Amino acid sequence: MNAVVTENSLRTEGAALPGLRHDWRLAEVEALFELPFMDLMFRAQQVHRAHHAANRIQMSTLLSIKTGGCPEDCGYCPQSIHYDTGVAREDTMPVAAVVDAARRAKEAGATRFCMGAAFRSPKKKDIERVSEMIRGVRELGLETCATLGMLTPEQASELKDAGLDYYNHNVDSSEDYYKKIISTRTYQHRLDTLEAVRNADLKVCSGGIVGMGETRTDRAGMLVTLANLPEHPQSVPINQLVQVKGTPLADGEAEAAAVDSFEFIRTIAVARIVMPASQVRLSAGRQEMSDETQAMAFMAGANSIFYGEKLLTTGNPDVERDRSLLARLKINAETQEQTNARSGCC
């Protein structure tokens, strides 16, 4: 007779797996990338089930509260003033419009609302305005996330006091490769902001981009940086580069450097293994992915997505496509209560 395999029995099996580590060596992580694909997927799925509900995904909606005109020169970004991408510079949105967008996101099923701004670093008035937005969004019962560029320790504390739950600040790649895609700040600047965010007792959302022409060693190096932080980021977004015309990373050379979907899925699986308890988000690039690639990413341990037609300036699958995909896979969208219980929010 076949044994009935329940979610719980699989989770118990996974309990024998190693716990949280902060001493990953590059060679070990590269060795994970080198595993036969099915072995890697199996291992990632075991780790996933030891730490997370097997068939549940958290959904966050993203809104660009201040678009374009950014002084930084991130080679992937359509919002940099250094590149002619057709993204117009806009003023910061009014607070009421942001809270309205958050209300619609909640009605559509999102449990976290992420406010993104094309800042190098926010000014005093920006922190005040964003604090009002945070208070308004939180009153709706949603978790809040912001991504505003570099923060001082004081700014991080102000955002915490306003009720912010998560701060997104990506390391984006390995320290070595970072220098090749951004010249206006350093990797250490990123790590300093992450430290300020941790010290303010905010939850950290930090990940990176795959497909910028980096090597597998760079992808492994990025995951080593994230996993060896004093605490694993509670949320780890893995973005597939969205090539936007006008950015340096959208020329013919970059197209040749794009990774195939198996390598992208490997990156998700390795992130899941080295940061077992974190939420790994299948982030930008989903619009270009087949349903099958997304299902494989969930199998590899991704348990969070951006939900809603738009990311910041580029497209995302529409809600009907996402709802249909989750229904066909019998994956449940995490409820607000489940989101809050996991993160101790609200």
Which residues does 204 contact at the CB level (< 8 Å), separation at least 6? 166, 167, 169, 194, 197, 198, 229, 231, 233, 234, 235
> Which C-beta is closer to ligand SF4: that of 77 or that of 164?
77
The answer to the question of residue 149 lying near ligand SF4 (CB under 6 A) is: yes
Strands 112-117 and 56-66, sheet pairing: parallel
Q: Is the dihedral of CA 173, 175, 181, 187 positive or negative?
A: positive
Stretch that binds ligand DTB, among 22-30, 216-224, 236-244, 333-341 (CB under 6 A): 236-244
**Under a CB-based contact definition with an 8 Å cutoff, are residues 146 and 169 in contact?**
no
Catalytic residue flag (residue 77):
yes
Q: How many CA atoms lie within 13 A of 59 on its CB side?
A: 24
The answer to the question of residue 317 lying near ligand DTB (CB under 6 A) is: no
Residues 61-80 binding ligand SF4 (CB under 6 A) are: 70, 72, 74, 77, 79-80
Catalytic residue among 43, 112, 190, 205: 205
- The label of the residue with tokens 């795959």 reads 210
Catalytic residue flag (residue 281):
yes
In the complex, the smallest distance separating the C-beta of residue 79 from ligand DTB, rounded to whole angstroms, is: 6
Determine the Cα–Cα distance for residues 236 and 304; give it in Å rounded to an integer.
9
Catalytic residue flag (residue 70):
yes
> Which C-beta is closer to ligand DTB: that of 86 or that of 141?
86
* The entry of ligand DTB, ligand SAM, ligand SF4, none that residue 80 binds, CB within 5 to 8 Å by partner kind: ligand SF4
The answer to the question of residue 225 lying near ligand DTB (CB under 6 A) is: no
Q: Candidates 63, 274, 280, 284: give the one binding ligand DTB (CB under 6 A).
A: 284
Catalytic residue flag (residue 104):
no
**Under a CB-based contact definition with an 8 Å cutoff, are residues 259 and 211 in contact?**
yes
**Under a CB-based contact definition with an 8 Å cutoff, are residues 147 and 121 in contact?**
no
Distances (CA, A) of 220 to 31, 33, 39, 54, 172: 9, 8, 18, 25, 12
Q: Is residue 223 packed enough to be buried (19+ CB in 10 Å), middle (13-18) or exposed (0-12)?
A: buried
> Which C-beta is closer to ligand SAM: that of 76 or that of 166?
76
Instruction: Please provide residue 282's backbone torsions phi and psi, each rounded to the nearest 5 degrees.
Output: -75, 105
CA angle 333, 278, 13 (to 5 degrees): 85
> Which C-beta is closer to ligand SAM: that of 50 or that of 62?
62
Determine the Cα–Cα distance for residues 63 and 313; give it in Å rounded to an integer.
9
| x-marked contacts with ligand SF4 along 104-143 as a string, rule CB under 6 A | --------------x-x-----------------------
- The first and second tokens of residue 14, run together, are 């996974």
In the complex, the smallest distance separating the C-beta of residue 290 from ligand SAM, rounded to whole angstroms, is: 18
Catalytic residue flag (residue 345):
no
In the complex, the smallest distance separating the C-beta of residue 313 from ligand SF4, rounded to whole angstroms, is: 9
* The entry of ligand SAM, ligand SF4, ligand DTB, none that residue 172 binds, CB within 5 to 8 Å by partner kind: ligand SAM
Binding residues for ligand SF4 (CB under 6 A): 70, 72, 74, 77, 79-80, 118, 120, 149
**Active-site positions?**
70, 74, 77, 114, 145, 205, 281
Binding residues for ligand DTB (CB under 6 A): 62, 78, 116, 147, 168, 170, 207, 237, 239, 242, 283-284, 311-314
